[in-house]
Structure 1
């Protein structure tokens, strides 16, 4: 491992990419210190240190945002509006014929879809910025005085524009990493923000002298990472045989291969998608919590209490588990159908031993994919509700909310492991291409 790192740093081109990636991450972390205009930081700090239920929720969300939410930075939304736009475009592609045709046009078509994704990300970022400020304003009264288009249209517009610009700035930095650095830029940006939180979380345990909890959470984190790596890298290999073709005096084909079907093809997208949808009930209900009608106010308060990521809000976590599992099947099915593996095999003269090419092969692959996806869906669901599971364990969730005491969120763990593996594989490919020994032996 150390020799591989040394080899990577000795290669000028690879060293330049690594240094460039680190430089962009430093710029991003510096930009996270810029607050949203008009924020009262004293009120924000008092609220976060209060230990209230609302503070616990904000702290939990802050773990995934890389600390930008606790500072109410212009980068508080990070690259998530762009991720949401990407997911929407992926879901719309098989449904809209024009987009489906674009996806089949190679690099040019993908660039066009990427352009549409950027356009969609801007209004999504503006809407998310407004919703995020409204929710935080209701949780922390007075944090932004006179927020609203009716009372302060210019100031409100400035806040939304600054947060939208901050989000798109983060996306631009990510694309710079993709083009000139190492790994997928957007993923690296998220990775950097999440990892940057860990030293601060560890220091909190040390300050409070909670060494037992620190060891327990470190072990839980290690075991979870191990499980994520096993499931992420796990695959079912379907044997494939290619028929022999004779052209003149030469024989082509006849070799054996396999189709790797991954246990977790969806990655962390089901968790992000489920979180995005689960935010809506409590967000909408919060507008009616102050209603003059006792019934409406009571119903709204009930929804806000039970559909927020709090340790005691078990309906939220059960719904979260079910939605993650459902979206894992849904998203995997869409991605798998887009690959058209059975059709590609038939065109290339390949077949699965014992099965006819075409419809029979397609049905078999779909059946196998659904079976192994069940394992991935259950695993992702368990990882998603890990903060709740930890929070209800005696002695671990006693610090005012187990979901806020984890070193890193479950979604964050998936992102960190996924990005780490992907980046390591890219470095591995670069080293092997230059005849050096890689990381993976």
Structure 2
């Protein structure tokens, strides 16, 4: 892979693409430090303290590359666009018109992307309002104007224009990041949205390294051993992610010979690569978002030490669906593991159904040796997919609960979770694969022009 990077830098065209991508990432980091209008700078430190105890906000801050703790215009990152993509993908099996667009090639893909952008705008407004209101109530539960995140209190009814201005600015920041990702797709090395998320996570690495160094300097011998154990587990996790992400089962496919005029087509063999983890990071995001939601809602009503049946019910949900709650750690980890495994199977089946491999094989004269084309081929592929997805689902479930297991084993808690590792490693591997594909394509071009 390092040789591929060195070769890519030596080629003027690829070098320009790499430099353009780095420029877009630099612009993204500048945008991440521009605060929204009407922000109260004296309460930002309270916001950072609130983020340390809010699991949903930590997840959103991860995708925003730390922009949420500064409450910048990029505080939502590209998460609304990812949500819109997931919704469109899940709706395709249910809406025939979307299925037809998927089969129309490049034009259909462009129209689906346009629908995703349209859906992103209302989702971004909803997320901006809910996210801001949650953080405002977290640091200012008594509606004290002096403790508000904003100079003018956040209220659509009493202060519509300032509040709407904040929401619109946050939505505009998200759309700007999406535009940067599309520019990376067109003029950079591709995989733009993922690279934006990748850049946000990697930008936090220096601070995390400094945090680990401070822990080792201030701690005793057991703390240093815990930090070494943490690093060892992180390295093993990276190796495991690479192996699972690259793991695949190759199904041999034979194509029948067809005679057209004086020419013979087909007769060659190929294979279908079924990945161990076809769902990527989506199941982790689904599971974490759903399991955190009840605890977040309960935190709006729960008051520690207060009496009443309502407060007791809110306290039960708050502690159960919170990894740091009293007695909720085991329940939280168990539910998170099961949800991750379940969503991995669900999303894998959705993606596999949309590809319609059995019908495409039959249409092109391909068949799996020993398997009848059509329905039998579909059943065989689904059986193999379910079998190999078990390994991928269990691995993702382990990745989901690994931070809590690591903290209990080593006693060290550092902000880079396993979800971030999965994103960073996955995007890095995909980017390197795209660079290698670009190099191979240029080698073929050079061969053809000789």
Q: How does 1:198-277 map to 2 (within 5 A)?
A: 198-208=205-215, 209=217, 211-247=224-260, 250-277=263-290
CA-CA distance at 1:46 after TM superposition = 4.6
- Does structure 2 conserve the Cα–Cα contact (< 8 Å) formed by 1:48 and 1:55? no
Q: In 2 relative to 1, CA 427–315 (structure 1 residues): closer, same or farther, beyond 3 Å?
A: same
Note if contact 1:321-1:385 (Cα within 8 Å) is conserved in structure 2.
yes
Match status 1:137 vs 2:150: no
Aligned partners of 1:44 and 1:143 also within 8 Å: no
Give the Å deviation of 1:13.
Answer: 1.0
Instruction: Supply the distance in 2 between the matched residues of 1:310 and 1:365 (Cα, whole angstroms).
Output: 42
8 Å CA contact 2:8–2:439 kept in 1: the answer is yes
Give distance in 2, aligned partners of 1:7 and 1:410. Answer: 32
Structure 2 gaps, min length 5: 141-146, 445-450
Q: Please tell me the root mean square deviation across aligned C-alpha atoms, in Å.
A: 2.4
2:422 counterpart (411, 414, 418): 414
Please tell me whether residue 281 in structure 1 is matched to residue 280 in structure 2.
no
Q: CA deviation at 1:246?
A: 3.7
- Residue 351 (structure 1) aligned with residue 367 (structure 2): yes
Distance 1:248 1:44, change over 3 A: closer
The reply on whether 1:362 has 2:378 as its aligned counterpart is: yes
Do structure 1's residue 153 and structure 2's residue 166 form an aligned pair?
Answer: no
- Would the alpha carbon gap of residues 139 and 424 (structure 1) be closer, same or farther in structure 2, given more than 3 Å must change? same
Change in 2 beyond 3 A, CA 1:55/1:207: farther
**What is the rounded CA distance, in whole Å, between the counterparts of 2:283 and 2:115 in structure 1?**
22
Give matches, 1:47-196, under 5 Å: 48=48, 54=53, 62-141=61-140, 142-145=147-150, 146-196=153-203
Deviates more, 1:351-360 or 1:302-311: 302-311
CA distance in 1, matches of 2:162, 2:334: 40
Separation (CA, whole Å) in 1 of partners of 2:52 and 2:79: 25
Matched with 2:43 is 43
1:298 is aligned, of 312, 315, 326, to: 312
Q: Report the TM-score, using the length of structure 1 for normalisation.
A: 0.90
Moved more, 304-313 or 121-130: 304-313
Identify the range of structure 1 (256-265 vs 202-211) with the bigger mean alpha-carbon deviation: 202-211
Note the C-alpha offset of 1:244. Answer: 2.5
- Asked if the contact 1:183/1:422 (under 8 Å) is kept, the reply is no
The alignment of Structure 1 onto Structure 2 pairs a total of residues equal to 427
In the alignment, the residues of structure 2 paired with residue 55 and residue 349 of structure 1 have an alpha-carbon distance, to the nearest angstrom, of: 55
1:64 is displaced (CA, Å) by 4.3
**Which secondary structure state, in structure 2, belongs to the residue aligned with residue 150 of structure 1?**
coil
1:201-233 Cα deviation digits (max 9, x unpaired): 111122332554443322222111110111111
Q: Please give the secondary structure, in 1, of the residue aligned with 2:161.
A: helix
TM-score (norm 2): 0.88
Partners of 2:262 and 2:154 in 1: how far apart? 80
SS in 1 for 2:115: helix
Give CA-to-partner distance per residue, 1:26-77, whole Å, 9 cap, x none.
Answer: 0000110012333333333256459x96268755653443111221222111
Q: Distance in 1 between matches of 2:175 and 2:395?
A: 33
Distance 1:117 1:55 in 2: 29
Supply the distance in 1 between the matched residues of 2:20 and 2:95 (Cα, whole angstroms): 38
> Could you say which residue in structure 2 is the equivalent of 1:435?
443
Contact residue 231 and residue 264 of structure 1 kept, 8 A? yes
Distance 1:57 1:126 in 2: 17
Q: Following the alignment from structure 1 to structure 2, what is the Cα–Cα distance between the partners of residues 176 and 246?
A: 45
2: distance between equivalents of 1:60 and 1:113?
27
Structure 1's unaligned 5+ residue stretches are: 437-441
